[in-house]
Every structure is written in structure tokens, then in C-alpha cells.
Amino acid sequence: MSPRIGVLALQGDTREHLAALRAAGAEAVTVRRASEVDAVDALVIPGGESTTMSHLLREFELLEPLRARLADGMPAYGSCAGMILLASEILDAGVVGRDATPLGAIDITVRRNAFGRQVDSFEHDIVFAGLDRPVHAVFIRAPWVERVGPSVQVLAHAADHVVAVRQGRNLATAFHPEMTGDRRVHALFVDIVMGRA
């Protein structure tokens, strides 16, 4: 049976994640309300703008339902803005009241727009633990990880910074695998959800 994986569809590149998940063998559905959060086996938080997504999570009254399911062990994968939201601590989170709010699913500290201060976007082939060939990684005003908790596994680096992590059944990348047609990161997440990885 294929797992039912939701893609948070408040803002960001939802469609690409739905396509990537389907190609990786999952049933993929959009998630916009609390009842939909409760109806999925796992959740992807896409790239976009973490401050806007946090604002919409509050507006749609999704913040607490989402936190509850994550605390309860629902697997999650976040790319870029999604990585920021899954973190336990966010540096440069934005202005108070309009800031990116951490959901605390992965014990990492991320810095928003970290690479963006140097160069807005870039692409790089990076070694990704557990994957046979390098991943062509697209970074767009991307965060990097500045602190990794003791139970977090580092999966990839770019320019000497941590850009992909896993903690238990949660996965996060600072880059956008959904944009390249390479389905291996989504396939890894499907395997994690299925208990195969």
C-alpha cells in the first residue's frame, strides 16, 4: 500500500512536491486545514517564504494541530522554507509578529537566507549520504544549518555548511530536489515513511 503524504499547500511550490511524491510511489494530497493534517500519514512542507507560511499557519489555525501531530511522531520532510519551519530554532527569523515560527520537529538551528546574503541562488552537485550519485542541488535564498543536535544525522554539506539532515523519521534539505526531476530524495522520504529506510 502506498502511504498518503500531504503537501502543505498554503504557499510555495506545492505542485512540484505532489508530482515528485507521486513519482516516488506515494499517494500525494494537498493539506490546507486541520482535518486534512489529521488525514495524512506524513507531511511535506515545501519551499516558499517561511514568514508568510508561518503567518498563514496561524491564520488557518494550523499551527497547533501541526505541532501536535509532529510531536506525536508524524514523519515530515521540509525543503528550504520547509526546513526552516521544521527546525527547533530559527536565526534571522524576521520581524516580531511577522516572523518564521519553528515547529520544533528537528533539533537544529537554522539561519534564514544564510546563503542568500552571499548569492541569491546557486546550483551545486553535492554528496548526499545514502544516495549512490551526487544530487544536483538548487539553492534559492536558502538557509543553512548552524547547530545540529546530538540525535540529528547530517546527510549533506554545501560550501562547508550543513544543508541536509535527518532526525528519526524527519528529513530536511536547504535545497529544492522537487525542482530537478531527480526523485531520489522524495523516494528516501517515502522509504522513511514506509519504515524501509
Per CB under 6 A, residues contacting ligand GLN are: 47-50, 80-81, 84, 112-113, 140-141
Please identify which of the residues 80, 146, 157, 161 carries the catalytic annotation: 80
Cβ proximity to ligand GLN, 101 vs 167, nearer residue:
101
- 73, three cell numbers: 511522531
Select 47 or 177, whichever has its Cβ closest to ligand GLN: 47
Give whichever of 44 and 84 is closer to ligand GLN, judged by the CB atom.
84
Least distance CB 159 / ligand GLN (angstroms): 16
Shortest Cβ 113–ligand GLN spacing (Å): 5
Assess whether 161 carries a catalytic annotation.
no
C-alpha cell at position 46: 515545501
Would you say 40 and 2 are in contact if contact means Cβ atoms under 8 Å apart? Answer: no
Residues in binding site for L-glutamine: 48-50, 112, 140-141
User: Is residue 123 annotated as a catalytic residue, yes or no?
Assistant: no
Q: Is the CB of 2 or the CB of 52 nearer to ligand GLN?
A: 52
Q: What minimum distance in Å lies between the beta carbon of 48 and ligand GLN? A: 5
We find the least distance from the C-beta atom of residue 174 to ligand GLN, in angstroms, to be 9
Neighbouring CB atoms inside 10 A of 161's CB total 16
Residue positions annotated with a catalytic role: 80, 176, 178
